[in-house]
């Protein structure tokens, strides 16, 4: 009977120590720890309109249907077509703080007027 009592006391002591360690571990590391947030890359946006002003490699001002926007032109901006005042353009840009930086500019090819179209020869 003494052996059984000693075994029971030892078993209860072990259970008490183990449960104390487990409780301490869960208190230090909560089960639902928030995941570290990754910094989000700036969202690419676009704006369509007519060029009001343009300084190559520096800035472009585009007048849309409802508003006029000014963009800084990134050093590595891709420029497609001939960008000049009066040209129809699409500007892809991203916000950098309070600035809007153009990452690419696509100018639409100018439409040919009737006078510019070559006269078709009648056969």
- pTM value > 0.75: no
- What pLDDT was estimated at residue 8? 76
CA distance 93 to 103: 5
Structure-model confidence comparison of residues 81 and 20, the more confident one? 81
Confidence of residue 57 (pLDDT cuts 50, 70, 90): confident
The residues pairing with 92 across neighbouring beta strands, listed in sequence order, are: 46, 104
What's the CATH number for 45-107? Answer: 2.40.50.320
- What pLDDT was estimated at residue 40? 65
Locate the domains of the chain by residue range: 45-107
- What pLDDT was estimated at residue 27? 52
Alpha-carbon torsion 50, 54, 60, 66, what sign? negative
């Amino acid at each position: 009977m003494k052996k059984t009592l000693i075994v029971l006391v030892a078993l209860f002591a072990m259970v008490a120590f183990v449960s104390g360690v487990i409780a301490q571990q869960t208190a230090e590391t909560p089960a639902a720890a928030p995941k570290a947030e990754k910094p989000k890359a700036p969202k690419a946006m676009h704006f369509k309109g007519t060029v009001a002003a343009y300084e190559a490699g520096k800035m472009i001002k585009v007048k849309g249907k409802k508003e006029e926007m000014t963009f800084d032109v990134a050093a590595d901006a891709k420029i497609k077509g001939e960008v000049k005042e009066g040209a129809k353009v699409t500007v892809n840009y991203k916000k950098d703080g309070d600035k809007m930086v153009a990452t690419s500019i696509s100018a639409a090819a100018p439409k040919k007027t009737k006078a510019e179209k070559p006269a078709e020869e009648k056969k």
